[in-house]
Structure 1
Amino acid sequence: MKTTFISSSTLWNSPRSTLDKLQSELVKANKEVVTGRHMDVGLALGRKTGKSLSLRQERAALDALTDSNTSATLRLKSTSAALDQVRTAGDNFKNALIGMHVGAQDIALIQSQARASLDKLVGNLNENVGNQFLFGGVNSRVQPLKAYDAGPRAAINKAFLDYFTFPQTDAQVADITPAQMQAFIDGPLADLFETQWKGTWSNASDQNIQSLISPTERVETSGNANETAFRQLAMAYTMTFDLGIAGLNDQTREYLLNRVIGTLGEGVAGVTELEADLGTAQRKIDDANERMSLQKTFFEERITNYEAIDPAEAKVRVDQLSTQIQTSYSLTAQLNQLSLINFI
């Protein structure tokens, strides 16, 4: 016959032996009540865990696209605001020239306005958001346009001198005929704003930024300073203040200003088209965000079906575990009071 030795220490530690496990289970149950999902999804779902993870990855991809679309929307709105200023400035200057009977006393005024408009155009096209130039195309880290005095002025003066054989300040400017001015504008001057635009004026890329706005759709979400509309506006402003206009005879000056007005009109119309294109891109982003929002809701519902716990059952487990822990503490306290001295 064998008897098992039982000591007071064994009795005291017996309730404690399960206390750590109860507390661990209570932490788990409390977290499940708060989050509404299994504490250990892998343990709870078993082989279905892969499906849950796949759904979460797909939803995370949609979240990333939505965040990216927020940045693209900011760029589009900033670009649209800059284009609006460019269009308004060009339209205002064109309207001022149309309503003005240009006399000798008005030349200095329109030259000043044209130069200010050109500087504003360059400033608008050099705007940046978040250290990225709006009109640099994919070359968004480099300032798109050079200041007029940093290169373009010298190129235009040289083209004028090479073609007419005298500078703009020479008295012979008065002998330039409308036909000669037309030939210069359509030839050497046009070339500076077409084939020689990049390098002389612009550092921008012709390729615009393309953004993935949904799992299957890309759109252009930027502009670039090489667009025809910007070159037309720059050319119109330059013709107004830097082709010796003050020394021209009345007929040639009238022809020149009519060309300026026509070129401004084409440039303003081109900017309006660019604004419409950006508006179309923004609408596509809004539609993509709406579709992805519905997709995310669908994914969340499926994830919930896999991972969600019964909140009522979880609350009952929390209450039961709390009760067991309190009982364990109470029993331990009672055992601590046991002593043979009390029975002698």
Structure 2
Amino acid sequence: MYDRVASMGVSIGRQSQLNRMQSDLARLTGELSSGRKSDPARELGVGASLLYKLRADIQQGDAIANAGTLAGQRLTAMQDALSSVGELMDQMSSESLQAEVLKDDSFKTIASNAREVLGSMMDLLNTSWNGQSLFAGLDSATKPLSGAEALTGETGWVQAAMADLLASSGADPVEVGQSADGAADGTLLGTFNAMFNNTVVGLDDSFYGVVYQAASRTGGEATQVRIGAGETLQYDMRADNPAFRDAFHALSLLSLLDQPDTALSKEAKSDVLREAGTLMRGARSQLTTAAGILGAKQERLERVGEIQDRTVTAAAAQINDLEGVDYYTISDKISTLQIQLQATYSITAQISKLSLVNYL
């Protein structure tokens, strides 16, 4: 009785061994064909934590790289827009100098050009990229500027301001001048200074009520790009930047140059032209500085991207070393298993030829 049980146990054990060898052969054959270990963590044991860390590093690196790529493209689009804005500023600075010499009919030409340039500049600063406004800061779902009509249109702020000044001064031409602090003191330049410096009380007459529409303002919370673990790159370039405000200020003044002499004398127009030229040159200088700062941010972002690429590549190489198979070792194991299986099959076949009496 015990002999029969023991013999059956040997048969069951042999079958279990056969199944295990077949499973190992299938696993090793799969590893040989794929070049990857089927379960590298099991073979590493306690060292598997390194593998998990490397995979986490790659995942984080890819996320940072993607964010950096998008931010880099966004900054490139911003630089393109700034370059075009700078060209418009240069154009108006040049025309202002010519108008100062030619005067008369040139005043009307430059006033018309100023309105066109203002519209083009605002369109550039309202540019959207990937569904987001480039110059609206954190309020990127909103176009930052209302449009040129709000300033220089027939019912815009400039015309309303002129009407108020004419009404307050009667039939005399509007006095050109400004108070020491630039406040709205009833003079033309003072009124414009108060508007573009946002010192007026009424929202309807302020820069942030008439021109700038976004809630995110220069000097507030900056736009951030993640460039590493716990590290971000920040930049602040919005359409209410002082460079743009001065340019809008200058262009709004230049749009007055086609006013009739009864509203604005030739001497007053010359004063307006000089003030606008000074503002535009200052705006161009500020824009150059702001674009340079943005360019430095862009360059740093590119360097961080290169570092992240090298880090991810190194981690991937380490993972490949840990998960990759040794073809020679795997081939040797497969050969050994095949020999063992053949031997086991042979023994099983021999046993199957025995009579039941002999087997028991």
**TM-score interval (norm. to shorter):** 0.7 to 0.9
Work out whether residues 110 and 257 of structure 2, in 8 Å CA contact, stay in contact via their aligned partners in 1: no
Name the structure 2 match of 1:341: none
The answer to whether structure 1 residue 115 and structure 2 residue 115 are counterparts is yes
Work out whether residues 87 and 271 of structure 1, in 8 Å CA contact, stay in contact via their aligned partners in 2: yes
The answer to whether structure 1 residue 281 and structure 2 residue 304 are counterparts is no
Bigger mean CA deviation after superposition, 77-86 or 292-301: 292-301
Question: Judging changes above 3 Å, is the alpha-carbon distance between structure 1 residues 324 and 123 closer, same or farther for their aligned structure 2 residues?
Answer: farther
* Residue correspondence of structure 1 range 151-300 to structure 2 within 5 A: 153=153, 154-165=156-167, 172=171, 175-179=173-177, 184-195=187-198, 196-204=206-214, 205-206=216-217, 207=220, 208-221=222-235, 223-242=237-256, 245-247=259-261, 248-300=264-316
Question: Judging changes above 3 Å, is the alpha-carbon distance between structure 1 residues 46 and 157 closer, same or farther for their aligned structure 2 residues?
Answer: same
- The amino acid across from 2:241 in the alignment is E
State the Cα deviation string for residues 61-94 of structure 1 (Å, max 9, x = none).
1221111100110000000000000001111121
Gap runs ≥5 in structure 2: 5-10, 199-205, 354-360
Residue identity over aligned pairs, in percent, reads: 22
- Residue 161 of structure 1 deviates from its aligned partner by 3.0
Query: Residues of 2 paired with 1:321 and 1:132: CA distance?
Result: 62
Question: Judging changes above 3 Å, is the alpha-carbon distance between structure 1 residues 237 and 296 closer, same or farther for their aligned structure 2 residues?
Answer: same
TM-score by length of 1: 0.79
Query: Residues of 2 paired with 1:265 and 1:34: CA distance?
Result: 69
Work out whether residues 133 and 141 of structure 2, in 8 Å CA contact, stay in contact via their aligned partners in 1: yes
Question: Judging changes above 3 Å, is the alpha-carbon distance between structure 1 residues 125 and 48 closer, same or farther for their aligned structure 2 residues?
Answer: same
Work out whether residues 78 and 134 of structure 2, in 8 Å CA contact, stay in contact via their aligned partners in 1: yes
Work out whether residues 88 and 117 of structure 2, in 8 Å CA contact, stay in contact via their aligned partners in 1: yes
Name the structure 1 match of 2:129: 129
- The amino acid across from 1:187 in the alignment is G
Name the structure 2 match of 1:342: none
- The amino acid across from 2:56 in the alignment is Q
- The amino acid across from 1:43 in the alignment is R
Work out whether residues 38 and 44 of structure 1, in 8 Å CA contact, stay in contact via their aligned partners in 2: no
Gap runs ≥5 in structure 1: 5-10, 339-344
Question: Judging changes above 3 Å, is the alpha-carbon distance between structure 1 residues 232 and 253 closer, same or farther for their aligned structure 2 residues?
Answer: same
Query: Residues of 1 paired with 2:259 and 2:299: CA distance?
Result: 45
The answer to whether structure 1 residue 84 and structure 2 residue 86 are counterparts is no
Query: Residues of 1 paired with 2:98 and 2:258: CA distance?
Result: 22
- Residue 186 of structure 1 deviates from its aligned partner by 4.3
Name the structure 1 match of 2:356: none
- The amino acid across from 1:188 in the alignment is T
- The amino acid across from 1:69 in the alignment is G
Work out whether residues 66 and 289 of structure 1, in 8 Å CA contact, stay in contact via their aligned partners in 2: yes
Work out whether residues 152 and 201 of structure 1, in 8 Å CA contact, stay in contact via their aligned partners in 2: no
Work out whether residues 250 and 276 of structure 2, in 8 Å CA contact, stay in contact via their aligned partners in 1: yes
- The amino acid across from 1:158 in the alignment is A
- The amino acid across from 1:78 in the alignment is A
Aligned residues between the structures: 329
Name the structure 2 match of 1:97: 96
Work out whether residues 134 and 222 of structure 1, in 8 Å CA contact, stay in contact via their aligned partners in 2: no
Higher RCO, 1 vs 2 (CA within 8 Å, ≥6 residues apart):
1
- Residue 246 of structure 1 deviates from its aligned partner by 4.2
Bigger mean CA deviation after superposition, 197-206 or 111-120: 197-206
State the Cα deviation string for residues 275-304 of structure 1 (Å, max 9, x = none).
101111011112212333343344345444
Aligned-pair Cα RMSD in Å: 3.8
* 3-state SS of 2:177 partner: helix
Query: Residues of 1 paired with 2:105 and 2:258: CA distance?
Result: 15
* 3-state SS of 1:240 partner: helix
Query: Residues of 1 paired with 2:124 and 2:34: CA distance?
Result: 50
Question: Judging changes above 3 Å, is the alpha-carbon distance between structure 1 residues 250 and 155 closer, same or farther for their aligned structure 2 residues?
Answer: closer
Work out whether residues 25 and 334 of structure 2, in 8 Å CA contact, stay in contact via their aligned partners in 1: yes
Work out whether residues 111 and 241 of structure 1, in 8 Å CA contact, stay in contact via their aligned partners in 2: yes
* 3-state SS of 1:99 partner: helix
State the Cα deviation string for residues 152-173 of structure 1 (Å, max 9, x = none).
7533333333334269xx9x47
State the Cα deviation string for residues 300-334 of structure 1 (Å, max 9, x = none).
45444544432322244456667888x69x98xx9
- Residue 119 of structure 1 deviates from its aligned partner by 0.5
Work out whether residues 136 and 144 of structure 1, in 8 Å CA contact, stay in contact via their aligned partners in 2: yes
Work out whether residues 257 and 269 of structure 2, in 8 Å CA contact, stay in contact via their aligned partners in 1: no
- The amino acid across from 2:209 in the alignment is G
* 3-state SS of 2:87 partner: helix
Question: Judging changes above 3 Å, is the alpha-carbon distance between structure 1 residues 211 and 228 closer, same or farther for their aligned structure 2 residues?
Answer: same
